[in-house]
A and B are shown apart, each in its own frame.
Chain A
Amino acid sequence: MKVLIVEDEAALRASLLDYLRHGGYVCESAETYRLAHEKIKLYQYDCVLVDLTLPDGAGLDLVRTLKADKSVAGVLIISARGALDDKVQALELGADDYLQKPFHLAELNARLRAVMRRRQFQGQPHLSFRDLTVFPDQALVLVKEQPVTLTRKEYDLLLFFLANPSRVLTKEAIAEHIWGDAADMADSFDFIYTHLKNLRKKLQELGADNYIRTIYGLGYKLEPA
C-alpha cells in the first residue's frame, strides 16, 4: 500500500515515515505544497496524509486537486490549527478523516487503516492475525474459526491493537482512542485494564493465548508470535 505524507516539519515527517514503514506501508513524503502537487499529479497513491498548513500553499487545495482528478486515494488531514471549521470544510471537500495535532501515532495508523478498509472494500474484506480473523463490516471476530462475543469496547480495543501489531500502545493512546475527550478523567487506565483482562480471557478460552503483552511502565503490545 502506497502512502504519501505531506508534512513540512522534518522531525514529524521522519516519525511518520518510520512508524508507517514499520507498519508495512510503502511511504513517500513531500515537504512543500509544490512537491506534493507534483507527486499527486504524477503518481497513484492509496492514501494521502495532508498537513493543512504548508509553507507555500494550503493543504485544502491538495484535497481539491485530488477530488478534481477523481483520485481513488483516501485522504487523511492532519492539522495543528484544530479550527473546527477547517475540519468541517475538509470533510465536506471529501477528505476521509481529520486528525488534530498532536496525535498518537497508533491512532493515526488506526485511522489510516480504517480509511483504507473503507476505500478498498472488495480487496480486503477481513483482517487476519495469527489465529484471529476479523470481519470489520460485520463486527465479527473469529478465533480458530470459532466466533467470539465481544463488548463494543473490547471490540474497539482489539481493532486498535490489530491496526498496530507489534507496537507498544501507551495507555494514554488507548484511553484517547476509546473515550476521546473524556480520557483524561481519573481511573480511565483502570478501565483499560478491566477491558483488556476480559478480552484476554475471551481469546484465551478459545486457545489464543498470550496475544497481548504488558510492557511494564509503558503500555501493551500485540505479539506477532
Chain B
Amino acid sequence: MKLLTTTNRYHLALVTALFVLGTAALYYGLQRALAHEVDEQLGLHRTFLAERVQRTQALPPILTPNEFSISPAPRAEGYGDTLLLDPAEGTQVPFRQVTFRVQVQGRPYWLTVRKSLIETADVLQVVLTVMLPVMALLFVSLVLLNRWLSRWLWAPFQHTLAALRRYQLQQPQTLALPPTRIDEFSELNQAVTQLTERVAADYRALQEFTENAAHETQTPLAIMQAQLEQLMQLPELPAAAARPVQELYRGTLRLSRLHQALTLLSKIENRQFTDARPVRLDELLADKLEQLQDFAEAKQLQPELVVAAPLTVAMHPALADSLVSNLLQNAIKHNRHGGSLRVSLTAEALEIANTGPALSGDPMQLLGRFRKHNAASDSPGLGLSIAQQICAHYGYQLHYAYRAAQQLHILRVQF
C-alpha cells in the first residue's frame, strides 16, 4: 500500500471521529444553551404574571392555550418538560413549562406558562449543515496537501529510488545523488552513496582477486606441466619413473581443469561476461555434436538434432559454447549403451533428452557443484552447475525432468 494511501486512511479515520465527537458536543451544547435561555424567559414571565395577579387580583386572559393555562386544581409546581400537539404542524412538539401558585381573592389557582422548544431535528439539521461541509473541506484539503507533499517533498526520495533501480553491479560507479533540504532524505542519500562506494570497491577487489588468483595459480601449473612434458622427453628416463611422472602429469592436468572451471564459474557469477554477440545456436549444436561423435559412437548412440527454425541468440560466444558442450557432454556421459539422444531446438527452448538410469536423490541437486554420478570419475562434476550459472546469467530457465516409463532424462533451457 502506498504511504499516501495509508496516511490518508488515518487522516480520514481521525476526521470522522472528530466530526462525530464535535457534532455531538455541538448538539448537546446548543440544546443546553437553548434550554437555559427558555428557562430564564419562563422565569421572567412568571415574575411578571405573579406581580400582575397580585396587583389586579384577577386572572389574566388566556390568549394562546398552549402557552398559558390556569387550573383551580393543584398541579406540581416548578419547571418541567411536556409534549403538546401543535395544531399548525399536527405533531407533538416539546414544551418547557413552569407552574406556580397564585392567590386570587383568597382562592388558590395554579398557573402554567409554557414555551415551545426548537425541535431536536431542526437543531441537528443546523449542526450537520455546518459540520459536514467543514469536514469535507478538511478532508479534501488534506488529500490535496498530501498529494502535493508526495510530489514535491518526496521528489528526492523518488529520485534516489530510481537511481538505485538503475544501479548495476557490473558497472559499479558511485551514485551521485543531488543534495536535499530534508534531513531524513539527505541521510538516506548519504547512506546509499556510502553503500554504493563500498559495493563498488568490494566488487573491484573481488574481480581483481579472481583475476590474480587465476593468474597466480595457472602460472605455476603451466610450469609444472611444461617441466613434466620435458621430463617425459628424456630418453634416459627410467621405466620405473615413467608411471609416477605420468600420474603427476595427469594430476596437474586435472587440477588445472578444475581451476579453470571454478574460475569460469566465479567470473559468470561476477557478471564479467557482458559482451554479447549473435550466436547461431543450431550451427553450434551441430558442430558440437560432430566434435563429440566419437563419444556418442562408443556408446552406440544415434544423436538426433531437430531444429524447428534457425535460432540466433545474443550471448558471449564462449558462454554459448560452454553451455552447449556441457549439456551435450552430460547427455552422452550419463547415457546407457545403445540409448537415445535427442536434441530439439525451437524459438522458445532447447531441449536435450537422453536415456539413462534413474537418479537417486533430489534431481535438482544435480545442478549443484561437485555432484557426480560416479564418484571415481575424473571430471570434477561442475558441468551442469556451469550450465545452470550461464542460464541464470542470461535469464534462461534450466529445468530437469525424468520420464520413468522411457527412462528419459530431459534438460530444458527455456529462453
Name A's B-contacting residues (CB within 8 A): 9, 11-12, 15-16, 18-19, 22, 53, 80-85, 87-88, 100-106, 153, 167-168, 170, 172-173, 179-182, 184-188, 190-191, 216-219
Contacts and interface: CB of A to CB of B under 8 A. Distances in A.
Contacts, number: 122
B14 interface: no
A157 B269 CA distance: 37
B249 interface: yes
B232 A219 contact: yes
B234 to A, nearest CB: 9
Please name the 3 residue pairs, one residue from A and one from B, whose CB atoms are nearest each other, closest first: A102-B222, A15-B226, A80-B218
A188 B332 CA distance: 13
Contacts of B26: none
Contacts of A102: 218, 221-222, 224-226, 252, 256
B291 A180 contact: yes
Contact of A53 (B215, B239, B245): B215
B203 to A, nearest CB: 16
Contact of A182 (B225, B243, B267, B292): B292
B379 A185 contact: yes
Given A88-B275, A217-B242, A186 B377 contact: yes
Contacts of A80: 214-215, 218-219, 222
Nearest to B256: A102
Nearest to B333: A185
B294 A172 contact: no
Given A102-B221, A167-B233, A12 B226 contact: yes
Interface string B266-296: 0100001101000000000000000110110
Given A80-B215, A102-B226, A216-B239, 5 more contacts: A9-B219, A11-B223, A15-B227, A80-B214, A84-B318
Nearest to B228: A170
Contacts of B224: 102
B215 A81 contact: yes
B260 interface: yes
26 contacts: A9-B219, A9-B223, A12-B219, A12-B222, A12-B223, A19-B226, A19-B230, A22-B233, A80-B215, A80-B219, A80-B222, A84-B316, A84-B318, A85-B273, A100-B218, A102-B225, A103-B222, A103-B225, A172-B253, A179-B291, A184-B378, A184-B379, A185-B379, A188-B294, A218-B242, A218-B245
